[in-house]
Amino acid sequence: MAQKKQFEFLEDIATADAAYIAYGSSLPELLSNAAAGLFATMVDLDLVPPQVEREIEVEADDREELLYNWLAELIYAKDVHAELYSSFEPKLHGDSPIHLTATVRGIAVDKLSGSTSCDVKAVTYHRLAIEDVATGLRATVVLDL
């Protein structure tokens, strides 16, 4: 059985940026795959075992704001705890505002010694969008490196 595509990187968005499209059959799956794309920008996710666990909470008025807040909170957790994550379990509650709670798992950055390729400073609103497609949802994300 073929594995569904989680995300794909886009080329030539801007010199100091990275961009990707994330896919999901549902909003929680899309958010999980968008988080995987965020961290895959920095490191090969196969090198990030689930040794530490964090709880993340965000809320927003719509899907795009939720995506932005989710990725921004993951970048904040990465910076504050000096960790990279590879496992994401978002759960949604309510619809106005949308409340997200998630368990994320990963590893301390210092245990990866030289395996990271870059650091993501922020998620941007540039081209940020979630679209309904035949297979579910597709999100475009641009990151500031």
**pLDDT above 60 for 2:** no
Cα gap 58→78, rounded to integer Å: 15
User: pLDDT for 97-108, tens place per residue?
Assistant: 999 999 999 999
Q: Which residues pair with 133 in a beta bridge?
A: 136
Confidence of residue 95 (pLDDT cuts 50, 70, 90): confident
32 within a domain of the structure (yes/no): yes
Cα gap 100→70, rounded to integer Å: 8
81 within a domain of the structure (yes/no): yes
11 within a domain of the structure (yes/no): no
Give pLDDT, residue 20.
95
9 within a domain of the structure (yes/no): no
CATH number at residue 24: 3.55.10.10
12 within a domain of the structure (yes/no): no
Q: Which residues pair with 107 in a beta bridge?
A: 84
Q: What is the model's pTM?
A: 0.91
Tell me the residue range of the domain where 85 lies: 17-144
6 within a domain of the structure (yes/no): no
10 within a domain of the structure (yes/no): no
106 within a domain of the structure (yes/no): yes
57 close to 42: Cβ distance less than 8 angstroms: no
Structural domain count, the chain? 1
Give the mean pLDDT of 66-73: 98
User: pLDDT for 108-132, tens place per residue?
Assistant: 999 988 888 889 999 999 999 999 9
Sign of the Cα pseudo-torsion (77, 19, 43, 145, in order): negative
